[in-house]
Amino acid sequence: MNRNRLVLMMGLAVLLAGSFYWQATKGLPSEAELVTFTPALPSTVRDVNGAIVTSYTRERRIFVPYAELPPRLLQAFVSAEDKGFFEHEGIDWLGIVRAVFTNIGSIFSDQRPVGASTITQQVAKGLVGNEVSLWRKIREAILARRLEAALSKQQILEIYLNQIFMGRNAYGVEAAAQAYFGKSVDGLDLAQMAYLAILPKAPSTYDPVRRRERALDRRDYVLRQMAANGHITEAERGIAAATPLDAVANRALPRPRDDYFIEDVRRTLIAQFGEAQDNGPNSVYGGGLWIRTSLDPVMQAAAEQAMRDGMIRYEAGRAWRGPAARIDMGAKDSGAWPGRLSGTQVPLGYPRWVKAVVLARQGNDSTIGFTDGRTDTLRARNAARPYRATGRSAAQVLRPGDVIAVTSGGNGWALRQPPEISGGMVVEEVASGRVRAMVGGFDARAQAFNRATQANRQPGSTFKPIVYATAMDNGFTPASIVVDGSYCVFQTKLLGTKCFRNFNNMRSAGPQTMRWGLEQSRNLMTVRIADATGMDRIVAQAKALGVGDYQPVLSIALGAGETTVMKLTNAYAQIFNQGRKLQPGLIDYVQDRSGKLIWRRDNRGCPGCNAPDWNGGPMPRPQGRIEQVMDARTAYQILHVMEGVIQRGTGTALLPLNRPLAGKTGTTNGPNDVWFVGGTQDVVAGLYLGYDQPRSLGGYAQGGTTAAPIWRQWGQTALKDWPTLPFAIPPGVRMVRVDRRSGKRVFGVWPDPGYKPAVIWEAFKPDSEPRRINRANDVFDRRSAGPIRSDAEFLESEGGIY
C-alpha cells in the first residue's frame, strides 16, 4: 500500500514538474528558431544614385557584425557585464549565490541590491520581456540555456551588442557611438569604449552631461576590471582614466529632407510588407530592408525650391495674418517654453526659417526665444509687415506666447509668414514612369497632407489636350478649321440651355485651326470640338490615361472633372511616351537585409541583357506586351501642337529654357487653381497652386503667369545637365508644310526660324493631310538659287523638324 502511494506521489510530482516546465517554456522560441533569429533593423532608403536618403526606424539602431567589432570594445563589455561569459553555459550559478547573500545583506544596510544576469540572460530577457517577477527569471534562465545550445558565444555577443538599449534612443553599440561621440565604433578610443560599456546598466544614471561624475567613476571601474582581467596594461588604464568625457550633445534623429516623397514610399512599403516585425521578417520597421527609389536629388531639391518660391512670390505684399500658433507662458513654469515651442508644429519650409516664441515686448521690439533656450531680439523694422486691415504693423501686435517664423539676415532676425496657398508637383520619367521628384506642400513637418497624390482638383485647361487628341482619333487634324464663336447646348428641360464662353470673356476669333485653338486655350473651340467628337469617347480616353472616370458632359471638356497632379502628370507622360501605358512608381526595387531581391517594380524578363559582351545580334530588349492607351501617331500630333503652346501660346514663359518643350497651362473657374504640365523627351513635370479650401486666387492669377514660371525655375536647375533632344516621331506620321493660321498646305515655301513663322511643319496621319487643289496654281519659288529640294532633303539638312 505504501509502495503504491509512493509511486502515485512520484507520478504526481513528475506530472506537476512536467506541467510546470510546459507552462514555463510555453511561447519561448525553440533552438531551431533561435538559430535563425534576426534582430530588428531599420530599413534604409536610397535615391536613384544609390546614396542613402533616410531610414525608417523607431529606434536608433545600426547593425555591426561580430567580426567588425573592435576587440577592445568586446573586452570592455565582457569586463563590465559578465567577465565569465566565455566560460559559463548561460547561467552563472556562483554569481547567483553571491547576489542572493549580497541582497540579503542590503536589507540591513544602504548597499544597493545587485543582479546576477549574464550577457546570455540579458539577450534572453529581450525575447521574454521586462516583467519583474520570479516567473520571468525562470523563463529567462530556460531560454538562456537554449541560446547557449543553439548559438556560439560570438553569435550571442553579436546579438547583445546590437540589441542592448544604451540611452539617447540608441540601440546597439554603433548607434550609441554615434549618439554619444559622433563617430563609428572603429573610431572610438579606449576611454570611450569603456564609457559605452557602463550604459546597459542604467543609461540615465550615467548621463555624460547631467551625471558626469558618476559616469566617470563607473567608467574608471570598467577600466580597472579590464586591467585586472589582463585586457589592457596598467599604463593604458591610467591614460584612459585621465581622458575627459567628451560626449557630444544629444541630437534627435534627423528628418529626411524629401518628406513627401519618402512618406509616400513608406506607405507603399507598409502596404506591401507590413509595419512591425510581427507582420513578417521583411517588415518596414525591423526588417532591415534596402529600398532603391527613383528619387533624383537634384530634381527634388529644385522642385522644392521652385514650389516654395512660387508660393511666397504669390503671397508677397499680403498682410501678416498673425502668429502660426500660441503657447502658454504661465508664470509657474515660465522656464518650460523651449519644450512647448519644440512640440509646436509650424510650416517652415526653407532650411533658413526657424520657429520662435515671443517672450517679451520692449516698445515695438520683441524678445524672442528658440527651441534650444537661446534668446534674441526681433527689431520692429524687421516686422513692419501690415497686420490684416488694422493699419498697424506686425511688430505692434506681437505679444508673449506668439509662435512665429523668423529668419536671420544681415539686419538681424526678420519676421516671415508661411504661405496660406499651397499646391503639389510631380516629376516623372517618360520612358519608364519612375517618379523623380514629388512635392506635396510647403512643409511636410506641419502639413502631412500630400497634395501631389491626395488632393483632387479641377485641372482646367490642362485637360484640353485629351479632348483634342480624341478628336484627332476621330477625323480631325491639327489643321482642321473650327469656329471660335458662341456655342450653346440644350441640356434638359430643368437645366435649360447652357452657353459657354472663352476664358476672361475673350471675344470670338471666328474660324481657326485646331492648333491655334489649343495654343491659345480657347474654350469655345474646345466645347465645339468635344461636342462633335462625342463626350463618351473623350471620357473613355481620359479613363484609359488614368486621369479619372467622368460623366460624359460637356463641362468635363473644360477640365471640370477632378484629378490629382500625379494622375495628370502620368497621363501627359504617356502622351510623351507615344501613347504607351505607364504606371507611376517611386520604388525601383527592394532587397532584404542580406541583399536578396524580394520586390522589383519592373518584372519583365530581358534575355541577354546581362551578357558579358555583344554577340553581334540585335540589342536585347525587355520582354512583355506594351499596352497602347493612345494611338502613337495621335500622341505625337497632340505633342507637336503642345510645342506650339510653349512657342507662341499660353506657355511662352518657358521660352528662356531654350530647348524643345511641350506642355499646357490651366486655369480653373474663379480662378481657384492654376496649373502647368509639360516636359521634354525625357521627363514630364506637372504642378498646381491653390488654397486647400478652394477660393479665388485673384483675376491676375493664370496658369501661364503663375504656374509656368515655377516650372521654368525648376527646369533651369533640374534640366541643366540633361541633353537637349527633339521629340521622337513615331512611324506613320507625315510632316507636311502648312500655313500656320489657315492650315492650308504650302508648296515652295520653307518654315522660317523663330517661334511665329507663317509656314510650319504639321504632323498628319497618312491620307489626312491637306490635298493640292489645283496643280497648275502650285508655283514653287523659282527665284531661289540652287535646285528645288524635297521635304525629305530639307528635313535631313536641317537635322529633323524645323
Q: What are phi and psi of 435, to 5 degrees?
A: -85, 120
Residue 281: other Cβ atoms inside 10 A: 15
Q: The C-alpha cell of 372 is what?
A: 534650444
Helix (H) or strand (E) holding 366: strand 365-369
Question: Is beta strand 487-492 parallel, antiparallel or unpaired with respect to 496-500?
Answer: antiparallel
Contact present, 323 and 402 (Cβ < 8 Å): yes
Active site residues: 81, 461
Burial class of residue 361 in the structure, from the number of CB atoms within 10 Å of its CB (0-12 exposed, 13-18 middle, 19+ buried): middle
Alpha carbon separation from 80 to 102, 483, 593, 597, 752 (Å, rounded)? 18, 89, 31, 40, 84
Q: Name the phi and psi angles at 425, rounded to 5.
A: -145, 140
From the number of C-beta atoms within 10 Å of its C-beta (0-12, 13-18, 19+), residue 384 rates as: middle
C-alpha to C-alpha distance for 179 and 105, rounded to whole angstroms: 38
3-state SS of 508-555 is: CCEEEEHHHHHHCCCHHHHHHHHHHHCHHHHHHHHHHHCCCCCCCCHH
Q: Which DSSP state fits 165?
A: B
Peptide bond into 256 cis (omega under 30): no
Secondary structure in 3-state letters for 206-246: CCCCCCHHHHHHHHHHHHHHHHHCCCCCHHHHHHHHCCCCC
| Dist. CA 227–CA 230, nearest whole Å | 5
Give the three cell numbers for residue 755.
517661334
Report DSSP letters for 337-356, one per residue: HHHHHHTS-----STTEEEE
Pick from 701, 699, 627, 702: which is nearest to 664 by CA? Answer: 702
Strand 481-484 with 510-513, pairing: antiparallel
| Residue found under cell 558626469 | 212
Report helix, strand or coil for 709. helix
- The residues, any chain, with a CB within 8 Å of residue 161's CB and separated by 6 or more, are 64, 66, 69, 73, 74, 77, 172, 173
Reduced to 3 states, what is the DSSP secondary structure of residue 777?
Answer: helix
d(C-alpha 565, C-alpha 584), whole Å: 12
Closest among 171, 174, 195, 184 to 246, alpha carbons compared: 195
Residues forming beta bridges with residue 457, ordered by sequence position: 563
Q: What is the DSSP string of 664-688?
A: EEEE-STT-EEEEEEE-SSEEEEEE
* Interatomic CA distance for residues 147 and 728, integer angstroms: 64
Which amino acid is residue 634, in one-letter code? Answer: T
Q: Which three cell numbers stand for residue 585?
A: 512608381
Q: Which three cell numbers stand for residue 655?
A: 521660352
Return the axis-axis angle of helices 173-181 and 190-198, rounded to nearest 10°.
Answer: 110
